[in-house]
């Protein structure tokens, strides 16, 4: 963990658990009328009246999901919130509250946790959500962060993974592969730093892809845009584990097949350039890289005219009968079966 050795360090033992929670959360404001009671009691109290409630949770573990040698704690706090909100948006829902639980070792002073919570607070402001509770405990293995996101949606607007039909169009937001290539750049610079601690990396040429890795954004704008366009996806998922894995999830849940067209996959020029630098195939990166947090969804063909001129959306394929299978149609027009080759938690 890179730190300023002259910075004041306050041991967490000086506060104790309850004083620590109170200290870290004192600046968080309540934004939603559905939050009846937030932090400060045995449990939060929420009231969603006639709307459906969606709940999603993620656990981030140091050295597995993040590396503090190049991940600033403010960015980590922000990203930890965003990855959870992305799951809520993938249900076509609006996130309203989060809980944050951390396990932390004694190598972290109070000031480090203040940075972490500053990032969390920034995310709550930008995404208009309430922090309503959580827990803190000690850890022997560094830092662990568990965030639960709660959201609301009208019953008829909920979008699941299992609603795709044959002939539906497969649509993705934004561009793919940038977060993975940002990680490759950061890992490379980390190795250079190990050899020569005096070297200062020049990340300016990689600004876009590094930001996509360290400070991703959830696509709350897409949920609003779809509503304005009067488009309700037939199925939807966020892209956390790679395009290929997420397409397979949609197909299996919906019991359909899919043709994905390589030439349609949206890639930022910066991604193509860095893939060439690293001698990695850009299509492979888009299919398997992950952590893009874009939205992947299907729509009926009748809705195509509503989205076709919008730069936020790219139609990348269409759904077929289940027995036809799931394939990548290459630029050479060969058909390659899709495989889930994205990053997996339990691989050694």
Distance, in Å, from the CA atom of 311 to the CA atom of 299, rounded to the nearest integer, reads 16
- pLDDT tens figures, 158-182: 999 999 999 999 999 999 999 999 9
Question: 13: pLDDT confidence band, cut at 50, 70 and 90?
Answer: confident
Q: What is the CATH classification number for the domain harbouring 319? A: 3.90.650.10
Please tell me the predicted confidence (pLDDT) of residue 2: 43
Residues 272 and 151 in one domain: no
Smallest Cα–Cα separation from 249: which of 262, 259, 236, 263?
Answer: 236
Backbone angles phi, psi at 338, to 5 degrees: -70, 140
Please tell me the predicted confidence (pLDDT) of residue 347: 46
285 domain residue, yes or no: yes
- pLDDT tens figures, 178-199: 999 999 999 999 998 888 888 7
Q: Check if the beta carbon of residue 283 is closer than 8 Å to that of residue 242.
A: no
* DSSP calls for 60-84: EEBTTTB-TTTS-HHHHHHHHHHHH
- pLDDT tens figures, 249-272: 999 999 999 999 999 999 999 999
Q: Check if the beta carbon of residue 322 is closer than 8 Å to that of residue 255.
A: yes
Spacing of C-alpha 206 from chain mean position = 20
- pLDDT tens figures, 99-126: 999 999 989 999 999 999 999 999 999 9
Residues 99 and 138 in one domain: yes
Eight-state DSSP code of residue 31: -
- pLDDT tens figures, 280-315: 999 999 999 999 999 999 999 999 999 998 999 999
Task: Using the predicted structure, report yes or no on whether residue 342 has a pLDDT greater than 60.
Answer: no
Smallest Cα–Cα separation from 150: which of 203, 186, 96?
Answer: 96
Question: 46: pLDDT confidence band, cut at 50, 70 and 90?
Answer: confident
Residue 106 exposed, middle or buried by CB count within 10 Å (0-12, 13-18, 19+)? exposed
Please tell me the predicted confidence (pLDDT) of residue 10: 80
Q: Check if the beta carbon of residue 49 is closer than 8 Å to that of residue 149.
A: no
Cβ-defined contacts of 329-337 (< 8 Å, 24+): 329/259, 329/260, 329/261, 329/262, 330/262, 331/262, 331/263, 335/259
Residues 317 and 175 in one domain: yes
Question: 143: pLDDT confidence band, cut at 50, 70 and 90?
Answer: very high
Q: Check if the beta carbon of residue 56 is closer than 8 Å to that of residue 196.
A: no
Distance, in Å, from the CA atom of 303 to the CA atom of 229, rounded to the nearest integer, reads 9
201 domain residue, yes or no: yes
Final residue before a domain boundary, out of 102, 129, 157: 157
106 domain residue, yes or no: yes
Residues 42 and 106 in one domain: yes
Task: Using the predicted structure, report yes or no on whether residue 44 has a pLDDT greater than 80.
Answer: no
Residues 184 and 333 in one domain: yes
* DSSP calls for 204-218: GGGHHHHHHHHS---
Beta-carbon count within 10 A of 22 CB: 13
Final residue before a domain boundary, out of 129, 157, 185: 157
Residues 96 and 177 in one domain: no
Please tell me the predicted confidence (pLDDT) of residue 111: 94
Residues 293 and 260 in one domain: yes
- What b/e sequence results for 145-181 when a residue is b if at least 16 CB atoms lie within 10 Å of its CB, and e otherwise? bbbbbbbbbeeebebbbebbeeebbbbbbbbbbbbbb
Q: What percent of the chain has pLDDT over 70?
A: 91
Question: 130: pLDDT confidence band, cut at 50, 70 and 90?
Answer: very high
pTM of the entire structure?
Answer: 0.88
* Six-digit token string for 228: 């304005």
Backbone angles phi, psi at 102, to 5 degrees: -130, 145
CA dihedral 190, 191, 197, 203 (to 10 degrees): -50
Count up the domains in the chain and report the number. 2
Instruction: For the chain, give the mean pLDDT.
Output: 90
7 domain residue, yes or no: no
Q: What is the mean pLDDT of residues 76-91?
A: 96
343 domain residue, yes or no: no
6 domain residue, yes or no: no
Domain containing residue 93: 13-157
Task: Using the predicted structure, report yes or no on whether residue 1 has a pLDDT greater than 60.
Answer: no
Residues 98 and 124 in one domain: yes
């Amino acid at each position: 963990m890179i730190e300023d050795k002259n910075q004041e360090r306050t041991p967490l033992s000086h506060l104790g658990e309850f004083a620590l929670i109170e200290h870290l959360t004192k600046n968080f404001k309540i934004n939603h009328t559905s939050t009846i009671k937030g932090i400060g009691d045995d449990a939060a109290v929420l009231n969603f009246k006639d709307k459906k409630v969606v709940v999603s949770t993620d656990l981030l573990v140091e050295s597995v999901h993040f590396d503090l040698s190049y991940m600033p704690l403010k960015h980590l706090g922000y990203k930890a919130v965003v990855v959870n909100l992305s799951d809520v948006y993938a249900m076509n829902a609006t996130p309203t509250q989060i809980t944050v639980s951390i396990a932390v070792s004694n190598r972290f002073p109070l000031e480090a946790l203040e940075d972490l919570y500053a990032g969390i607070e920034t995310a709550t402001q930008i995404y208009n959500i309430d922090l309503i509770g959580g827990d803190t405990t000690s850890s022997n293995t560094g830092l662990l962060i568990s965030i639960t996101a709660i959201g609301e949606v009208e019953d008829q607007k909920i979008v699941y993974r299992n609603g795709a039909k044959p002939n539906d169009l497969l649509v993705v937001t934004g561009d793919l592969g940038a977060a993975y290539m940002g990680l490759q750049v950061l890992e490379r610079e980390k190795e250079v730093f190990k050899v020569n601690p005096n070297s200062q990396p020049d990340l300016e040429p990689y600004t876009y892809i590094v930001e996509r890795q360290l400070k991703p954004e959830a696509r709350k704008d897409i949920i609003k845009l779809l509503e304005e366009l009067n488009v309700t996806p037939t199925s939807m998922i966020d892209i956390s584990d790679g395009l290929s894995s997420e397409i397979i999830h949609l197909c299996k849940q919906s019991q359909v097949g899919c043709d994905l067209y390589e030439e349609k996959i949206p890639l930022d020029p910066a991604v193509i350039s860095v893939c060439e630098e690293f001698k990695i195939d850009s299509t492979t990166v888009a299919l398997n890289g992950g952590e893009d947090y874009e939205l992947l969804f299907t729509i009926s063909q009748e809705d195509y005219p509503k989205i076709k001129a919008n730069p936020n959306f790219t139609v990348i394929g269409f759904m077929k009968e289940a027995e036809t299978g799931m394939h990548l149609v290459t630029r050479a027009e060969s058909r390659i079966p899709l495989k889930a080759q994205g990053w997996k938690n339990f691989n050694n």
